Amino acid sequence: MEIGRNAALEVVILSTAELGDRSYLIHDGADAFVVDPQRDISRVLGAAERAGVTIRGVAETHIHNDYVTGGYELARSLAVPYLVNADDAVTFERTPVSDGFELTVGTLTITVIATPGHTPTHLSYLVTDANGESAIFTGGSLLYGSVGRPDLLGPDWVDFLARSQFRSVHKLADTLADAVEVQPTHGFGSFCSSSSCEAGSTSTIGDEKKSNFALILDDEDEFKKVLLGGLDAWPSYYAYMGPANLSGPKAYYDSAPALLSLDELTSHIDKGSFVADTRSAEAYAAKHFAGTYAIPLGSSFSTYLGWISPWNSDVVLVTSSEEDALEATRQLARIGIETVVGYYLVPEGDNIASNPREMRVEKFADLEQVRHSPGVKVLDVRRNDERRASHIAQSLHIPIHELPQRLAELDPYRDKEIWIHCAGGYRAALATSILANAGHHVVCVNDNYSEYFAAHA
């Protein structure tokens, strides 16, 4: 095999901010290895082309629960080895690997290390160059300041996986040099992480020994208690990711959905399609179509659309541009949603002429003036962990992801204005649209909760 031009380890980080994940292209200047690629493999291929390297292998750290992988199709299309744990019950041909397996890519040596915990068959990949420099690609095992959560496979697995996670991360810390770089897949906002993490570019084993609670704690039972105590709900679409990844999913190649006419959009709203308005919350508030949901395109778009919309339902997008329709479709494809039937392009000037509706938006200062009024009820749609940390007295609490199933609990408040808040306004806007579509009188609080609570605690 061709020797690399500089024989030094180079790591190209491919971030998927809306899912809180990273994929990696690792190379020596000539030959490359890919870890945990997302479904839109054009990003990986583009990175390899820009670096002037040839991809020689693809690997999965685990069967992912939070996105559809591009690994199978990337490896198949390039005719290179696809490293997947030998114990994973996949339905496709791959290079089955287990602890201790080694692969040479140019001047790089890839060593498989079993690190169960996030899943029972989780693997990490130690990549070492000709100079002895190393990086460990830890997937959902050792994260920056945290570890991958052990509860995604259900309660029967939690004890085993939590204890396995403790042993796995300590094995990495005990056997690898402090200088080894740590490059996780999860931990940058992903719900696969057990807690929020610092989103730096790199860390090392030595850094994690000093700052990661999993390595600071040396008692397995205490670790398990702390780990499980910080967990909250994960998106409902996670249930569909594992089966998709076990079956060898096809890659996604960019293509915009069909452009819809106003009559076609109206027809989709009338028949109950899930119509997501991807414009800004301000644009939605000014004027929007009745029966649509406020889910602005951005870092939380796919997570909350995938969490709120019925699985496999027809999805229609309301956008400000074709580019936004393409980006929204791409984000949804990463989590296996392939039912986007079209998009409606709002005419210039946001001229929504069919059954327009406005959304009332206020600040916490306004809420403070009215929240004790008998005609007002406050609804908090943050997560349970956020609620436990602090909340507004006498407010109701229904996490945003539970709201569609718990609408009946709000029926006693149909004669009141429901003021809805979250931490910053994104979830509040979505919740406001959900309740407005259900016939409630609602006000969206688009403001910073932390600043408000600090001033009124």
Residue 367's beta-bridge partner residues? none
Domain co-membership, 170 together with 266: no
How far apart CA 386 and CA 364 sit, in angstroms, is: 17
Exposure string over 203-224, b if 16+ CB within 10 A, otherwise e: bbbebbeeebbbbebeeeeebb
The pTM of this model reads: 0.92
- DSSP string over 354-397: SSEE---EE-HHHHHHHTTSTTEEEEE-S-HHHHHH---TT-EE
Same domain? For 196 and 291 the reply is no
38 and 161 both lie in a single domain: yes
Domain identity same for 371 and 324: no
Question: 48 and 189 in one domain?
Answer: yes
Same domain, 305 and 448: no
Q: Which of 357, 389, 420 is the last residue of a domain?
A: 357
Q: Are 371 and 322 found together in one domain? A: no
Identify which of 356, 344, 343, 342 has the alpha carbon closest to the alpha carbon of residue 290. 356
| pLDDT tens, residue by residue, 405-439 | 999 999 999 999 999 999 999 999 999 999 999 99
Task: Report the share of the chain in percent with pLDDT over 70.
Answer: 95
What does the block give as tokens for 74? 């990337």
Same domain assignment for residues 389 and 443: yes
Q: Does residue 387 form part of some domain?
A: yes
Tens of pLDDT, residues 350-364: 566 566 789 999 999
Total domains, the chain: 3
The CATH number linked to 377 is 3.40.250.10
Residues 323 and 373 in one domain: no
Residue 4 within a domain? no
* Tens digit of each residue's pLDDT (9 = 90 or more) over 92-136: 999 999 999 999 999 999 999 999 999 999 999 999 999 999 999
Burial class (CB within 10 angstroms; exposed 0-12, middle 13-18, buried 19+) of 123 = buried
Domain final position from 336, 357, 378: 357
Q: Does residue 111 sit in the same domain as residue 222?
A: yes
Is 255 domain-assigned? Answer: no
CB 122 within 8 A of CB 140: yes
Asked which of 61-75, 165-179, 195-209, 226-240 is least confident by mean pLDDT, the reply is: 195-209
Indicate if 368 and 336 belong to the same structural domain: no
Residue 386 lies in a domain: yes
For residue 421, give its domain range: 361-456
Which of 357, 390, 407 lies at the terminal end of a domain, its last residue?
357
Tell me what pLDDT residue 348 has.
Answer: 67
Q: Which of 322, 311, 316 has the alpha carbon at shortest distance from 292?
A: 316
Phi, psi of 127 (to 5 degrees): -110, 125
Same domain, 224 and 181: yes
